[in-house]
Amino acid sequence: MMDSRTIKEKAFLITIFILTLLGVTPVFYVLASVFYKGIEAFARRGLGILIKINGGILPALVGSFVLSILSTIIGVVLAFVAGLFVAEFPNSWVSKATRVASRSLLEVPTVLLGMLVYIILVVPTGHFSLLAGALALALVMLPYVMVHVEQALESVPQLYKEAGYSIGMSRAQVLFGVSVGIAKRGIASGVLMGFAKAMGETAPLLFTIGAARSSLPCSILSPGDAVPLMIFQYAQMPQEYYHDLAWAGSLVLVIAFLVVFFVVRRLVKEVRY
C-alpha cells in the first residue's frame, strides 16, 4: 500500500504532465494545421507556385532569403560584439547603458522599430528597400541575441578562464578560444531565437520593404517582399487562390525554420564541464 508521500509525488508528476500537455497542445495544433492546409494548397495549385513570379510566392521567397542574410549579418554581429563587451566588462558604464538599452528594446513593439527605420532610411531615400527591412529585422533580433550571448558567457566557470591565463593566453585568446568555445551552445541558441523572432515578424516590414510582388528585387536597395508579409496580406483577401498562397507560404516558412533549427542543433554539440 502506498503511503501519503508516494501518493503526493505521483499526483504532482501527473499534474505536471497534464499541464505540460496543455501547454504544448496549441503548438502542435498550429503546426498540424499549417502542414495540412499547406499540403492541401500545393495539391490544388501545384508546386509551380514556388517558382512563379506573378501569381506565385517566388518574390516573397527571394525577399525573405535576402532579408535573412542581411539582418543576420547586421543583427548578429552587433549583438555578438555587444554581448562580449557586456560580459567581459560588466561594471563599465557603457556596459550598463548597453544592457538597459537592450532590455528596453525587448519591450518596444516591433511596429515602432519599423516606423523608426521608415523615418531614418525610407523617407530620406524616397523609396522602400530590402536594406530598410533588414535593418528593422536586425533591431528586432539584436536584444534577443545579445542577452543570450551575455548569459552564455557569464555561465562559463571562472576556473577555465584562469587556466587559460595560467598557460600564457592573452585576454582575447581566453575570451574567444575558451569562453566562446564553451558557451557556443548558448550563443547558437540565442542566434537561433533571434533569427526565428526576426524571420516571423510582419509589422516591421509594413513600413520598409514595399511588398513588391510583380518582380524579383535587383538589389538590396530595391523594394521587395517577404513570406510573413505576403501571408498577412493574402490572408485578408477574399479570393481562395490567395488563401492557398498564404497557406503554402506558411508551410514553406515553418519547414525553413525547422530545418535551420535542427541543423544548428546538430552542428553545435553540447560542451560539458
In a domain, 22, yes or no: no
pLDDT value of position 250: 92
Domain annotation covers residue 59: yes
Does residue 101 sit within a domain?
Answer: yes
Let me know if residue 19 belongs to a domain.
Answer: no
Contact 66, 217 (CB under 8 A): yes
Exposed/middle/buried for 138, CB within 10 Å: 0-12, 13-18, 19+?
buried
Mean pLDDT of the region 199-203: 84
In sequence order, what are the residues at sequence separation of 6 or more whose Cβ sits closer than 8 angstroms to the Cβ of residue 249?
Answer: 57, 60, 227, 230, 231, 234
Question: pLDDT for 17-75, tens place per residue?
Answer: 899 888 889 888 988 999 999 999 999 988 888 888 888 899 999 999 899 889 988 98
Whether 20 is in a domain gets the answer: no
| Dist. CA 216–CA 112, nearest whole Å | 27
Count structural domains, the chain.
Answer: 1
Q: Say whether pLDDT at 273 is over 50.
A: no
What confidence tier does 195 reach under pLDDT thresholds 50, 70, 90? confident
255 domain-assigned: yes
For 134-187, write each residue's pLDDT tens digit: 999 999 888 888 888 888 888 888 888 888 888 888 777 888 888 888 888 888
Q: Does 124 or 106 have the greater pLDDT score? A: 124
The answer to whether residue 87 is domain-embedded is yes
Q: Degrees (nearest 5) of the Cα angle 35, 141, 176?
A: 115
pLDDT for position 5: 78
**Which CATH number covers residue 77?**
1.10.3720.10
For the chain, the distance separating the N- and C-terminal CA atoms, rounded to the nearest angstrom, is 42
Residue 82 domain-assigned (yes or no): yes
How much is the pLDDT for 271?
46
**Domain limits at 191?**
51-267
- Supply the pLDDT for residue 1: 54
Kindly report, residue by residue over 218-250, the tens digit of the pLDDT: 888 889 899 999 999 998 888 899 999 999 999
Residue 268 confidence (pLDDT): 62
Q: Is the pLDDT of residue 81 over 90?
A: no
Looking at residue 199, what is its pLDDT?
A: 79
The grid cell for 181 is 568555445
- Predicted structure pTM score: 0.83
